[in-house]
Structure 1
């Protein structure tokens, strides 16, 4: 519960350091680190669980104690080590001269502000009023992103939650199961980096995100239609590939940040999108039910339906933002130079409501 604001705050924090084009790949490294810990944990868990009985403690207690202590220490170090902003790096923990000289700080700040001037509207210690918060909630231009966050990940959630259980049901032992999950993590990481890089390379986002759904669709159909007498290795391959579904989460997070248009909207929108994703995890973990075990045919049918819905949702979001941009471009292009200057000087429109703002899609 306390961890709830961790990801939204990190997104906002990184947005002060990187431009819109740089953010997706940086966010992908964030989730690569998360998956890398899963690989390491598979080995650590095997060793630590064998400490059962040491000092009279069960193996799972040692697992919680040692891994929890390591996580806590990293958190404490990060609290003192990470600077509030690019211009506030000097401290006794980071060196009295900081990480950058004055010229480098100006370059860093100016490049970020030129990419998105709205990042200079609020400082990183400024709170939101209730009215500003309500205005962010009512920004319907961000609603398609929230809808996507609610369902796009669901097709992979059951396998993410029950991968080890599925492999155990297929007849593999504990150690073998832990080792067999590693390829899933590796493919996941490779997919994550590749699609984030390709997205910025070809300047396409929502349509590229449909790759995640087209990836998992034939795999779910295979789980649904293959006979129950299939080889355990077939189950393993399908399970690993479903787990390794292209993780386009950094792309959608970056779209949320870019399309927000203001710092206050970016703050609230990142939190709302993350809430939708967490809700999707709750929904996803309840699709595979005990009466449906061990083949989960009913659950797989539900997942196939959600995949088809997600494809339509991604395409619909693309069309929505293209139409909004086209409408604004028509109005903006029909204005004279003087009218544009007057609009920019007198408008009360802010952020993504401005006629000169274009949504990423």
Structure 2
């Protein structure tokens, strides 16, 4: 490195180290202030975040989804018959798993804030993978229910913790697309799970193990290996970007670290303290939980996301009931899940481009409602390929609203601790919905599940109404806040993003 290069870098670094606003976090910086660095340097620093933090959190969510929902493919491999359980027991097991996630979501998220994402997330993924492997030894109803409970406990806190971690790296304007990409881990896991099952279930009988046992074993081992990757490569925060172990492949220079911190401040946000840790007092938890203006978000998420639960569990079985072989059914089940990835990204792009968050959520939910109504009306009158097309369309639009709803909630949280708890509440609403949705498809409703589809239509309709009510709540509040601000109030009233 030449002396001229060193001198230039030291000059850039002095811009940040001599900045009292960076040293004193209580001093706010005007959003309209112009950054003092080359925009190309900011893009380079953000690109490093895009190629480290985002894909690693995505990978963690993907393996969670694989291990949580590979039971759908295991059912096509005779899992329920081998352990002598009914569809009602399968539904109950998933309800228990989701129930435990809801109970421990906020406590686990608070623990993550104290311990830090590098330690907590790595350990969490390892424990989850170990429990997933233990499913190989399930012999009866009791073993199945116990492992589902433990999987729920091991998963609690991951999604809100990861979303909060993303919010400490990205500005609000950048967040929606990144949250959508993060959720590709969940939806991508749902897409590739049946494809992986195509090959793994072929091992049925090899070394004395059933195909579903190989499925749990191999995917659980993959999850455990991902935890090692996180230990060595997941950065902590913009102020402390080194991984827990080692230096990582992509390294952040001191100047890039300062840029990442500074740009958050310029957008009215801030990184946590130097290790990315933030204690959340119980008073903040209580004030966030009782913040009534945000509750329509949670109602809408609860009712609409509940309809995804039966789709992830029974789509392969539904397609198999149309007369397709097990291999073909798992392959065909993946089509709608892959299309869903494009749908999610398109709505996230529209949301960021227009900044109309509520309208974007309603548009995505309305598209989903239309596919449900069409499937309910046409399914009894068409052949098997058309019925497959209807179920594929339903799966394609089932989650288009989900990531942008998450980013909408985050955009309306000012304090990082409030944001963390709000994300946890949003995830609790979604998981509670999944828990309720496990009962929508009953054995006596096979093979068309028309009663289940009617319930899903009702729930999505309620969700759309709740989203519209949320927009109205924000609009009314903003009108009052603007009136107060124009009257010269000393404390500027908070404005929400509708």
Give the unaligned 5+ runs of structure 1.
Answer: 344-354
* Pair 1:322 & 2:459 matched: no
CA distance in 2, matches of 1:293, 1:199: 38
Using the alignment, how far apart are the partners of 1:121 and 1:326 within structure 2? 35
Corresponding residue number in structure 1 for 2:159: 7
**Matched residue pairs, number?**
345
Contact residue 232 and residue 244 of structure 2 kept, 8 A = no
Alpha-carbon shift at residue 279 of structure 1 (Å): 0.7
Cα–Cα, structure 1 residues 287 and 143, in superposed 2: closer, same or farther, change >3 Å? Answer: same
Question: Runs in 1 of length 4+ with deviation above 4 angstroms?
Answer: 91-94, 118-123
* Residue of structure 1 equivalent to 2:331: 179
Unpaired segments ≥5 residues, structure 2: 1-152
**Residues in 2 aligned to 1:256 and 1:197: alpha-carbon distance in whole angstroms:** 17
RMSD across aligned positions (CA): 2.3
Aligned twin of 2:459:
306
Distance 1:304 1:150 in 2: 14
Deviation at 1:143, TM superposition (A): 1.6
| Structure 2 counterpart SS, 1:21 | helix
2:261 to 109, 117, 132: 109
* Equivalent residue, structure 2, for 1:360: 497
Cα pair 1:118 1:261 within 8 Å, conserved: no
What is the aligned partner in structure 1 of residue 179 from structure 2?
27
Match of 1:22, SS state, is: helix
Alignment of 1:1-361 (within 5 A): 1-90=153-242, 93-95=245-247, 99-117=251-269, 124-226=276-378, 228-245=380-397, 246-335=399-488, 340=490, 343=491, 355-361=492-498
Give the drift of 1:142: 2.1
Contact 1:88 1:98 in 2 (8 A): no
Q: 1:107 and 1:244 mapped to 2: Cα distance?
A: 39
CA displacement 1:167-215 (0-9 Å, x = unmatched)? 1121111111111122212210110111101111011111221123321
- Of stretches 216-225 and 326-335 in structure 1, the one that deviates more from structure 2 is 216-225
Of 205-214 and 64-73, deviating more is 205-214
- Aligned partners of 1:142, 1:118: CA distance in 2, in Å? 22
Q: Deviations over 1:262-299 (max 9, x none)?
A: 11111111111101100111122211222222222222
1:209 and 1:122 mapped to 2: Cα distance?
35
**CA contact under 8 A between 1:89 and 1:98: conserved in structure 2?**
no
Using the TM superposition, name which of 119-128 and 1-10 deviates more: 119-128
Compute the TM-score of the two structures, normalised by the length of structure 1. 0.88
CA distance in structure 1 between the aligned counterparts of 2:467 and 2:477, rounded to whole angstroms: 16
Higher relative contact order (CA 8 A, sep 6+): 1
Q: Which residue of 2 aligns with 1:352?
A: none
SS of 1:228's equivalent in the other structure is helix
Q: Is the 8 A contact 1:164 1:177 kept in 2?
A: yes
Question: Take 1:255 and 1:123, find their aligned partners in 2: how far apart are those partners?
Answer: 27
Comparing 293-302 with 188-197, greater Cα deviation is found at 293-302
- Structure 1 residues 9 and 316, CA gap change in structure 2 (3 angstroms): same
Kindly state the Cα deviation for residue 12 of structure 1 after the two structures are TM-superposed.
0.8
Which residue does the alignment assign to 2:20? none
Cα gap change, 1:247 to 1:94, in 2 (>3 Å): farther
Deviation larger for 225-234 or 276-285: 225-234
Moved more, 46-55 or 13-22: 46-55
**1:349 aligned partner:** none
